[in-house]
Amino acid sequence: MRSEPAQGPLQLHRLDRKTGIACSRCGTHSQTTVVGTLGADWAWLVDRGCYDAWSKQLG
């Protein structure tokens, strides 16, 4: 796994293999290698689309 620097409460992670997640923001279930965490809490996962939307709002 490789993690990008945090942008406010958001941090993007690139996983070694696809993992099933349920986005905490929109509820979408997906298989992905890229996931965001909110507040460094792995219980609060966000998909790439929601990560991008939130990071734009944060500036």
Query: What value, to the nearest 5°, has the Cα angle with vertex 51 and ends 13 and 16?
Result: 20
pTM for this predicted structure: 0.89
Q: Give the H or E element holding residue 50.
A: helix 48-58
Between CA 59 and CA 57 the distance in angstroms is 5
- Tally the domains of the chain: 1
Between CA 39 and CA 31 the distance in angstroms is 22
Q: Is 39 left (phi over 0), alpha (psi -120 to 50) or beta?
A: left
Is residue 59's pLDDT more than 90? no
Averaged pLDDT score across all residues of the chain: 95
18-34 pLDDT, tens digit per residue, is: 999 999 999 999 999 99
Q: What is the pLDDT of residue 58?
A: 82
Domain that holds residue 8: 2-58
